[in-house]
Amino acid sequence: MAQVLDLNSIRSVLVRLEDTIIFSLIERAQFSRNARTYEPGAFATELLGWQGSWLEWILLGTEQFQSKARRYQSPDEYPFSKESDLPEPVLPPLEYEPVLHEPAITNVNDKIMAFYTHDIVPSITKSGDDLNYGSTATRDVETLQAVSRRVHYGMFVSESKYRADTETFNKAIKAKDVKTLESLITKPEVEAALLKRLERKARHYGQDESQGGSLHDMKVDPEVVVRMYRDHVIPLTKQVEVEYLLKRL
């Protein structure tokens, strides 16, 4: 348990997820926007009885399969689909030592889905429809799951910091002092360094060397990656961290 809650270990996970998310965005950006993918009922003829979007259908099928393989028994994985729609694992459960405070766990995947489909997808893709709905949704699922893991990992940060200074946190939690809790978990200099690192990575990974590697030939605009973290990922992570702490006692 000590290693799981070690802040250096947590940081290593989050840094690796930066790479995963950037590469996932690059993979998604090679296809057109394919707006039909996100429209509820747009595939009602092909998917009889299904009123959700094509992406939601692919996501449900993916998560149902992954649920059978125990993915959502892992304490750092949270499904987008309703848990009642997911089957039990076919494998015997693994014995994880309790790390997070179970009643305090928060799932914000609905908010991740909203900002990703409404803001990020239009920002990284060219308009139009290339009919690659299967590949589009597959890349979307990969990106969504990586972002979800990144955001919900904030609960491990909260738990680690809580255990390191229980008395201070308990005082703020009992007073429901959100501002103090935010100040206890926030380090502006770390966030600033994160955004600079993201810009550098996105610029490096996104260069199209066949086109000379100029900014105009980027596979994904580095500013979109930075904006996604600044405007969505970081604020949502803080929300998860604070909501977790408020329910920690």
Neighbours of 148 (CB within 10 A): 22
Under 8 Å between Cβ of 107 and 78: yes
pLDDT at 249 over 70: yes
Q: What is the DSSP string of 102-120?
A: GGG----HHHHHHHIIIII
Closest by CA to 172, choosing from 189, 158, 190, 153, is: 158
* Closest of 127, 175, 136 to residue 43, by C-alpha: 136
Here the tokens at position 35 are: 């707006």
- CATH match for 7-246 among 1.20.140.10, 3.40.47.10, 3.75.10.10, 1.10.590.10: 1.10.590.10
Residue 14's pLDDT band, with cuts at 50, 70 and 90, is: very high
Q: What is the pTM of this model?
A: 0.95
Q: What share of the chain is helix, strand, coil (3-state, %, to 5)?
A: 65, 0, 35
Q: Residue 98: how many CA atoms within 13 Å on its side-chain side?
A: 5
Does residue 213 carry a pLDDT above 60? no
Assess whether pLDDT exceeds 70 at residue 209. Answer: no
What does residue 230 show for φ and ψ, rounded to 5 degrees? -65, -45
Confidence of residue 5 (pLDDT cuts 50, 70, 90): very high
User: Is 70 exceeded by the pLDDT of residue 2?
Assistant: no
Q: What angle do CA 238, 197, 78 make, to 5 degrees?
A: 40
**144 membership: H or E segment, kind and range:** helix 133-152
Q: Is the pLDDT of residue 146 over 80?
A: yes
